[in-house]
Copies of this chain bind each other. A is one copy, B any other.
Amino acid sequence: MEGFLLFNSYKMEESITELAFSLNTAWVLICAFLVFFMQAGFGMLEAGFTRAKSAVSVLMKNLMDLSFGVIGFFFIGYALMFGEGNAFIGQHGFELLNLPPETAGIATGAFFLFQAAFAATAATIVAGAVAERTKFLTYIVLSFLITAFIYPVVGHWVWGGGWLAAKGFVDFAGSTVVHSVGGWVALIGAILVGPRLGRFNLKKKKDFTGHSIPLATLGVFILWFGWYGFNSGSQLAIASSADTAAVSLIAMNTTLAAAVGGIVAMVLVWILTSKPQAGPTLNGVLGGLVAITAGCASVSPIGAMLIGAAGGVTVFFATVLLEKLQIDDAVGAFPVHGACGMLGTLAVGFFATDGGLFYGGGMKQLGIQALGVVAVAAWVFVTAIPVLLILKKIFGLRVSRVSEETGLDAHKHGVSAYPDFNLEGVK
């Protein structure tokens, strides 16, 4: 009898462990689905924030960076990021071969999928910045290289057991790993490709306002929704009280930072221009979301609101700065993802807490955070600049003047986004 009970007891323990494993995997899968859906958000946001004559071109870039992104991450990126290797780069698991069935406490396939969605996010950030004048093929190759190489190396440093992880760098869901990487490539791309024709030509001041605020707003709502998967899924577990508490705090912090980011940006633009403008407000929400991404698991709700507020301010002034510098980032990708990504990463040093407020990790943690921010920026510069210069030689970065004036949609993709509508300024 005792033997039976003992056997039974072992079997049940195993069943319980298996159930927890299954619940964790299910959670990460659902979150991965949400992160993939963010691509719809990016697509609508970026199309909405650019001109009608380039909408197809923007959307095709979004769809293709996702498509090439998952392929690049499957064959190469995952291995560089999570494969065994050294402090700098992983070297095993190309094509997902020879992997154990379980990774980080969940099914390996689910872990891969979640990470692939992240990689595609890093890549797609670039699309908006360089919109309306960048060559399609060049963009596709760049996307592939981001997910296959540039992003995974940073990922290895922080999440794959690399040197930044060893130093104690904290970036819970990727303010730096995902958003800053995308943001820096976006900035470099916007500079190297150059501004859209007429964008900073004061004589012929043309309106470069986004062509559909409803689509852009939809994009922000979808991104907000998907961000629950992005941040909450990064816990990679939910099957214990500790994990439920962590995930709930993460989701709450994400919500509060988004709300405050939008409010602060709106108030700011309202005060400075006497109009509560939609564009800056929408980007303020996103700035709050990007900023809370690094610290969502380690700050208090009040800390999250302060980080969100800082995100709203940062996104606003970074946008002004780029305009001053005559850098044409068509949708504000660098202000949102680059600037707020850095901000959020540094904020972990100030706001991380064990329940109280303003505890933080002290100056030492702040130093580590700053080191990570700088190192990642440096890495993106030394990889993305050569890549773009080589691509410039091979394919060129920029479409012809005629293409750009006519609109990339009609000239390059053979179709208008809105053939039944009379568009202004489109021939």
Instruction: Show the binding face of A for B, using Cβ within 8 Å.
Output: 1-2, 5-6, 8-9, 12-13, 15-16, 18-23, 25-27, 29-30, 32-34, 36-37, 39-40, 43-44, 47-48, 51-53, 55-56, 59-60, 62-64, 66-71, 74, 95-96, 101, 106-110, 112-113, 116, 136, 207, 209-215, 217-218, 220-222, 224-225, 228-229, 232, 238-241, 243-245, 247-249, 251-252, 255-256, 258-260, 262-263, 266, 273, 275-279, 281-282, 285, 301-302, 305, 409, 412-426
Counting from the closest, the 10 A-B pairs by CB-CB distance are A109-B248, A40-B221, A52-B420, A67-B259, A275-B414, A25-B244, A211-B420, A107-B244, A110-B248, A37-B225
Q: Knowing A12-B16, A251-B113, A417-B213 touch, does A23 contact B26 (C-beta < 8 A)?
A: yes
- Would A70 and B29 count as touching, CB distance under 8 A? no
Minimum C-beta distance from A166 to chain B (A) = 29
CA distance A245 to B220 in the complex (A): 33
Which residues on the B side are within 8 Å of A44 (C-beta)? 214, 218
The docked-state distance in angstroms from the alpha carbon of A425 to that of B301 is 46
Query: How many angstroms between the C-alpha atoms of A91 and B279 in the bound complex?
Result: 39
Q: Give the CA-CA distance A408 to B407 in the complex, in Å.
A: 30
Chain B residues whose CB sits within 8 angstroms of the CB of A63 once the complex forms: 217, 220-221, 262, 281-282, 285
Are A412's CB and B12's CB within 8 A? no
Q: How far is the CB of A152 from chain B (nearest CB, A)?
A: 17
Nearest Cβ on chain B to A50's Cβ, whole angstroms: 10
State the majority secondary structure of interface residues on A: helix
Residues of B within 8 A of A421 (CB): 52, 211, 418, 421-424
Please state if B53 and A420 are interface contacts (CB–CB under 8 Å): yes
Please give the distance in Å from A142's CB to the nearest CB on chain B. Answer: 15
| A213 adjacent to B23 (CB under 8 Å) | no
Please, which residues of chain B bring their CB within 8 A of the CB of A56? 213, 278
Shortest CB-to-CB span from A302 to chain B, Å, is 8
A421 to B217, CA, bound (A): 18
Q: Which residue of B lies closest to A424 (CB)?
A: B420
Q: Which of B245, B278, B419 contacts A207 (CB 8 A)?
A: B419
Query: Which of B136, B245, B266, B417 contacts A107, CB < 8 Å?
Result: B245
Q: Which chain B residue shows the least CB distance to A417?
A: B213
A281 touches B60 (CB 8 A): yes
- Cβ–Cβ contact B60 & A252, under 8 A: no
Note all chain B residues with C-beta closer than 8 A to A221.
37, 39-40, 43, 63
Can you name 12 A-B pairs with beta carbons within 8 Å? A19-B19, A22-B240, A23-B26, A29-B248, A55-B214, A67-B258, A70-B255, A74-B301, A109-B251, A207-B419, A209-B419, A213-B418
Q: Are B19 and A51 in contact (CB under 8 A)?
A: no
Q: Cα distance A398–B108 when bound, in Å? A: 52
